[in-house]
Amino acid sequence: MAYPKSYRYTKEHEWIEVKGDLATIGITDHAQHELGDVVFVELPKPGAKIEAGKSFGTVESVKAVSEIYAPASGEVIEINGELQNKPETINNDPHGAAWLIKVRLTNAKGISDLMDAPAYEAYIAEKGKETSA
Amino acid sequence: MVNFGGWDMPVEYPSSGGLIVEHKAVRGSVGVFDVSHMGDIRIRSGKKPGGALAAVQHITMNDASKLAIGQAQYSAMLYPQGTFVDDLIVHRLGEDDYLLVINAGTREKDIYWVRENTKAFDCVVEELSDAYTQLAIQGPRAAEVVQKLTDADLSGVKNYWFTHGTVCALKNTLIARTGYTGEDGFEIYVPSDEPTSEKVWNQVMEAGRGFGIVPCGLGARNTLRLESKMALYGHEISDKINVWEAGLDRYCKLEKGNFIGRGALERAKAAGVTRTLVGLEMIDRGIARDEYSCCNEAGEKIGVVTSGSPSPTLGKNIALVYVPPAYSALGTILYVEIRGQKYKAQVVATPFYKRQKKAAAPRLA
């Protein structure tokens, strides 16, 4: 699956798309692959504050629980309620329909330091080599 | 891939479609597991007959004297305290010949334990773990798949019995109607060299093609055994848990005579258990996981989850947990602590899933 050029990516496998002071956040295709069948998603409530680098929710597959870390700081303005009934959307469309939260950024600093798509693809390719070594 | 008792093993096979697909294949049709990590210990009598049986009786809790040649039984090796060294399957291969199939994670400890505790008996202990590739073909259509690969008549092999036959042109192959999924199925033991293992694996896949066979990993193995409430060493059973607590009474035969752990178990039985293994089904939306705390309605911690997972068959979140007997009644409301919050659950009957036993003999292709 292609990694959208307009997104930025974290080492913990979240993506963020920034438009002005608004941002959409999700987990990457690589992350959903590693997790396997997603069966449960826990997200903060609108109005909650998230802080860059801190966990704001969890995604669970049958076999594992995975924390989701905020790529940036901000206030949650909307959550993807569809995921509660259809968590498998995260496996099917992680970069699109399975966005997790929308936030109003309080501090855009640091976002430009996140990986762009080619850098992230190189990062996961390198990780893949490590695990198969 | 994950490290499992020193073995590099797949949690799931992406080519199968993942854990849930694998799980459902086994419940609905057939799946194949590479379980070569399981250990194998053979115990044979020495000069005189009876030595092997006496040794097996001494180190295991079930009554091996009840086994006919060709029969197997679920059993366990115990510490003198009545807690678990490991659980295992004892196969009676011949008059004075037994095969113990043990867990990978406890293999070295088990071998040592068997050797140390059978010294006084006239028997020969041999470790064969590395000699076998073990494949488990499991599911309601497993018999049809395995029958295609062997000249042995499997319709005559009952649950927890085994036979020897030619499988994939390999003579005298052990074919046991055993497994760890709660479904019908077979485990076959073939020479562990790579060309043979690969050939057998490919032939099993080919024979199962029409039944939608898929390779299954450790993930599905865990969810299948959990639904069927089969114990996993280090979780439901360990060196801290005794037989009565684990609810494995029916595999423990105090009346058979002395064996390691028996004295402690008699005392424990008289004293009564302080905790017992129960099944939980989550009521609130949340998934109980291994080692999460379990609380009563007053919020006091009363137990710990030993295994917890979504159940692909039931579509519910289930768990096994040790609680004081006062909380073990069906319908009791308990709470599982998940990331600092309490989620409601209730005690339900186990096993969570039980297969429908077919009255008729399996249909054979």
Per domain, the residue ranges of chain A are 8-132
CB-based contacts of B154, cutoff 8 Å, min separation 6 = B143, B146, B147, B163, B175, B177, B186, B362, B364
- A67 vs B: CB within 8 A: no
Q: Is the pLDDT of residue B247 over 70?
A: yes
Q: Which of residues 20-39 of A touch B (CB under 8 A)?
A: 33, 36-37, 39
DSSP E strands in A20-100: the ranges are 22-27, 38-42, 49-50, 55-61, 65-69, 73-79
Between CA A35 and CA B217 the distance in angstroms is 14
Q: pLDDT band at A79, cuts 50/70/90? A: very high
**Contact check, Cβ <8 Å, A62/B289:** no
Provide the shortest C-alpha distance from residue A19 to chain B (in Å). 32
Residues of A in contact with B11 (CB under 8 A): 36, 63
Q: Is the pLDDT of residue B186 over 90?
A: yes
Q: Is the pLDDT of residue B358 over 70?
A: no
What confidence tens digit (pLDDT) does each residue in B337-352 have?
A: 999 999 999 999 999 9
For residues B98, B104, B106, B111, the Cα torsion angle rounded to the nearest 10 degrees is 40
All domains of chain B, ordered by start, with CATH?
2-225 (3.30.1360.120), 230-348 (2.40.30.110)
Residues of B in contact with A42 (CB under 8 A): 339
- B337 vs A: CB within 8 A: no
**Contact check, Cβ <8 Å, A63/B289:** no
- A40 vs B: CB within 8 A: yes
**Contact check, Cβ <8 Å, A131/B339:** no
Q: In this structure, are residues B295 and B280 in contact, taking their beta carbons and an 8 Å threshold?
A: no
Between CA B206 and CA B280 the distance in angstroms is 39
Considering only CA atoms, give the Rg of chain B: 21
Residue A63 has its nearest CB partner, among B1, B11, B339, at B11
- B20 vs A: CB within 8 A: yes
- A53 vs B: CB within 8 A: no
What Å distances lie between residue A53 and A67, A110, A117, B38, B76, CA to CA?
11, 11, 19, 42, 47
* Strands lying side by side in the sheet with A49-50: A8-9, A14-19, A22-27, A101-107, A73-79, A49-50
Closest residue, chain B, to A39 (C-alpha):
B310
In this structure, the number of other CB atoms found within 10 A of the CB of residue B365 comes to: 11
- B310 vs A: CB within 8 A: yes
Between CA A61 and CA B323 the distance in angstroms is 26
Closest residue, chain B, to A132 (C-alpha):
B1
- A121 vs B: CB within 8 A: no
Residue at B39: amino acid letter: G
Q: Is the pLDDT of residue B285 over 80?
A: yes
Q: Which residue has the higher pLDDT, A58 or B6?
A: A58
Residue A62 has its nearest CB partner, among B1, B20, B339, at B20
Q: pLDDT band at A131, cuts 50/70/90? A: low
Residue A62 has its nearest CB partner, among B14, B219, B286, at B219
Retrieve residue B27's tokens: 């419940």
What is the arithmetic mean of pLDDT over A13-33?
A: 96
Residues of B in contact with A84 (CB under 8 A): 285
Q: Is the pLDDT of residue B238 over 90?
A: yes
Alpha-carbon torsion (B351, B216, B291, B3), positive or negative: positive
Spell out the alpha helix ranges (H) of chain B: 19-28, 51-59, 107-117, 142-149, 194-208, 218-227, 243-246, 262-271
Q: pLDDT band at B357, cuts 50/70/90? A: confident
Between CA B139 and CA B187 the distance in angstroms is 12
How does the average pLDDT of chain A come out, rounded? 93
Q: pLDDT band at A109, cuts 50/70/90? A: confident
What is the arithmetic mean of pLDDT over B143-156?
A: 97
In this structure, the number of other CB atoms found within 10 A of the CB of residue A17 comes to: 17
Q: Is the pLDDT of residue B322 over 80?
A: yes
What is the arithmetic mean of pLDDT over A42-53?
A: 96
Give Cα B271 distance to the centre of its chain.
29
Closest residue, chain A, to B222 (C-alpha):
A63
Q: What is the pLDDT of residue B6?
A: 84
Q: In this structure, are residues A31 and A24 in contact, taking their beta carbons and an 8 Å threshold?
A: no
Residue B219 has its nearest CB partner, among A60, A63, A65, at A63
What confidence tens digit (pLDDT) does each residue in B258-283 have?
A: 999 999 999 999 999 999 999 999 99
Cβ-Cβ pairs closer than 8 A, A with B, add up to 38
Between CA B140 and CA A17 the distance in angstroms is 48
What confidence tens digit (pLDDT) does each residue in B73-128 have?
A: 999 999 999 999 999 999 999 999 999 999 999 999 999 999 999 999 999 999 99
Q: pLDDT band at B361, cuts 50/70/90? A: low
- B219 vs A: CB within 8 A: yes
Q: What is the CATH number of domain A8-132?
A: 2.40.50.100
Q: Is the pLDDT of residue A116 over 60?
A: yes
Q: pLDDT band at A1, cuts 50/70/90? A: confident
Terminal-residue alpha carbon distance, chain A: 24
In this structure, the number of other CB atoms found within 10 A of the CB of residue B197 comes to: 18
DSSP B307-343: EEEEETTTTEEEEEEEE-GGG-STT-EEEEEETTEEE
- B14 vs A: CB within 8 A: yes
Residue at B251: amino acid letter: Y
Look-up of token digits 């399957």: B89
Q: Is the pLDDT of residue B254 over 90?
A: yes
Of the candidates B37, B40, B88, the residue with the CA atom closest to the CA atom of residue B62: B88
Retrieve residue A68's tokens: 């989701």
Q: Is the pLDDT of residue B252 over 70?
A: yes
What is the arithmetic mean of pLDDT over B3-13?
A: 89
What Å distances lie between residue B348 and A19, A125, B281, CA to CA?
50, 45, 6
What Å distances lie between residue B243 and B81, B257, B349, CA to CA?
10, 17, 19
Q: In this structure, are residues B275 and B323 in contact, taking their beta carbons and an 8 Å threshold?
A: yes
Of the candidates A104, A119, A106, A108, the residue with the CA atom closest to the CA atom of residue A28: A119
Retrieve residue B81's tokens: 């305290």
Residues of A in contact with B18 (CB under 8 A): 36-37
How does the average pLDDT of chain B come out, rounded? 96
